[in-house]
Structure 1
Amino acid sequence: MLVTRNMKDVQILRVFFLGVMAIIGILSLQTYWVVNTWNNNEEEFNERVHSALYRVAQSIAKMGDISLPARNLIKQRSANYYIVNTETEIDPVALEFYLQKELERQQLRIDFEYAVFDCSNGQMVYGDYCAYDKQDNLPSAQERNLPSDQEFTYYFGVRFPNRSNFLFGKMQIALTMTGILFVTVLFFAYSLWVIFRQKRFSEMQKDFINNMTHEFKTPLSTIQIAADVFLKHAEVQKDQRLFQYAGIIKEQNTRLNQQVERVLDIARFEKDNFDLRQEWVDLQDLILTVTSSVRLRVQERGGTLKLNLAEDLEPIWADRFHLTNLLHSLLDNAIKYSKDAPHIELDLHPSGTSSVQLKIQDQGIGIAKEYQTKVFEKFYRIPTGNVHNVKGFGLGLYYVQRICFAHGWKIRLQSESDQGTCVSILIPRSHPKNTLVYEGAPAVR
């Protein structure tokens, strides 16, 4: 049991580790993509600005009928500040016109401020702020004191104060995807926290159920012994009332003991600590033995139990004890979920050359389609409002399904409301592999 639990812990840790590695990889790729997108946008912005300023310088040089310097025409002093050496006097009005024109040509719809500097002392003689939305209440460039550059004689400077916002605006898709990824990472972390918490609660629940059922075994055994003593006592046998009560005690104790054993078996299933004691079983004889006791219950309610058993079937490889419990569970459901008198039909016939099919059909209340995918779940019971005329713990079909899984059998459920239910089990005659394939129910968790 300890080894199995450790294996499950290792599996959960493996999922956690792989998930963390996947998230780290995705975050790394996302970071690389965002940084690379920013660098590309920044490079593209600089290229467009250089292209626009070069055309502005050409236009100014053409106006003055001069040649531009061959070197150091445009210098970038900071991320958003550029200076252009024209070596000619600059008309501020023409400069603003050409700047707006060329930046618009480069699709740089962004605010900018420019300044023209005095060639003798390097002081700014004129400047202005040009907003793309043409607002007039923005401060002028003279108030901003753009830095000069003593290396040049005739030059102007251009600054883009909203350069970062402009670049971020072009990264909306990347930033949106980053936000979605961040939310996904948070959801994954929350899911892991929920998984570990539920795992701890599940282990506590299983330990409690196992301890509780084991504690029940001792008093149940004591009650069984006491009931047998009462039933065998001569004075009790003479008193019909006492004898009847002693029989009820033994019967109910046996029923409770069967429920405890079923819970223990299910706990063994879930811990992967369940071993089948398989042998060759004559299924026809086993069905006759089981139905001999069930038939009395059916007849007491005025019903019928019909058997259609093929002859000369070969024995099957199964665990006799759990196969007996499986038959009792299915027949017990067929009786309990009948409206009035139960009418049950049990068929056993060959299916192909390598399997036999066991079918148990009733004419009871049936199961609605929306519940058929859930009836194999542990502790699940079909909701009936405030009506609780059928007692049980919701373990019957779950136990049946787990027994079929352990044997490698296929189980199928077909049902309609008010039309009855049919459960069919396909049993191989040879030694089957432990694989579960069944229809009408969710996969084993």
Structure 2
Amino acid sequence: MGKKMFVLIVILMSISLIGIIAVQLYWINNAVESRREQFKNDVQISLGSVAERINENERASLQKKYQGILENTVLADEAQIKNFLFQEIDTTTNEKFTYGGTILEENFKMPTDFLDNDSIIVKRITGKNDFFQSKLIKGPDNLFSSIDEKRYSFTSRLKSIEKSEFELIFKEFIQTKPIHSRVSNRELNETIKDELQKRNINLDFKYGVYSNDGLATKLKSGYYTINKDDSIKYPLFSDGEGNPEYLLYISFPFKNKHILSGISNILLLSLFFIFIIIIAFSSSLYQLTKQKKISEIKTDFINNMTHEFKTPIATINLALDSIKNPKIISDNEKVLRYINMIRDENKRMHTQVENVLRISRLEKNQLDISKSVIDIHDVIEDAMNHISLLIKDRNGTLHTHFEAIVSEISGNEFHLTNVFVNILENGIKYTVGAPIIDVYTQSTNKFFIVKIKDQGIGMSKNVQKNVFDKFYREQKGNVHDVKGHGLGLAYVKEIVEKHHGTVFVESEKGKGSIFTVKLPLI
């Protein structure tokens, strides 16, 4: 897959994922907003029913009071006069309310010119209302006396003497009383609760009643304060012109829980599918990236393997051509030298193939790793003997610092020897000039620790992350200044992990590397 095609696929997949998630989130938001509006409408309807029930209760209470007045009216000779006096005393504030009313009904004749000297009988009804408000205090003689008096008089023209006229008069009177005298906290709370339950709203709520100019009244739950962004309001009482006298505010501390409860199952399912889509997209993207990386590494590996085999094959062909020469075939010494050369090159190719097959078998758990009790110091010394000639050939030095007190572990001597040989060879191959390598050992309560330090070219942070991957090499393409296939450290990691240990590298560009191997003690 080309780089442009890979980038295009990733972009298209990303756009699709973002679009799907955006649509899901838009749907979820719409569903939540719809539930929120429905909840608000249900509360508004409930508060409307609350206001209607409270008005009905007040109207019924008034009817009981003026029913007696209607039944005890007095008739006049030429007019019907209905007089009544209504008084109430508020024991809490020591206020006395006195309301007096007179309704006069008169019948008289009005002559007309357009009929045959007939006259029309006209009924005229007039009324006069007087209202007194007094505040009473106890005087020195324990008698009540008035300290404040207000009088309101007005005359209104009425159409007929029915209960509605008296209801208007009493309504004017009741509006002069404070709202906590008209409805109690308990009645209001129970009414609100009952109306909300009728609409399946079983939530804790807080309420408060405020006057039209924003002043708080005594009708409230606890220390309620208005939060206009989170409260729902509804007019509680109205004046004669239909304008609201008071506003009832109500809020629900746990309304979000109620709003989400109706769509919680669908919401969780939608979020679950979004999560699945993200996981699937991430996995696909990871696999695509991984496969692209593996493809590049394998291509690089094939190039390196081809180059590695090219030299020994060419050498073998030249040796065979030389042996065919009649002058050389009769020279036993030269023939023997060419035969040894063919054998060495063949052995070299065999070693390369064996490394590849070893990694393959190790991945498939087909490699036999039998374990026994071994002294890891002996294993390290054996590995050092294997690379001693390489060190000597490069005029390098190898120092040991064996400080581990306990060195016996359960492991496979052959494979662990190869592990340390590979690490030591890396220190030699990636050093410019004479290699200087130090080997340190130490032991803890649970682990045997080996540190192999070189003073080579080092490696960058990115290389350190990938150095134990199969086929990975810092040099790419056909650059073969350092021979190898990127299998040595992958083999090291696999063998160490098979021994339940860990291996990692610390390095800095131009300052060498330190490979650390931790193996569990017996």
Structure 2 length normalisation: TM-score? 0.42
Bigger radius of gyration, 1 or 2? 2
Structure 1 length normalisation: TM-score? 0.48
The structure where strand makes up a greater share of residues is 2
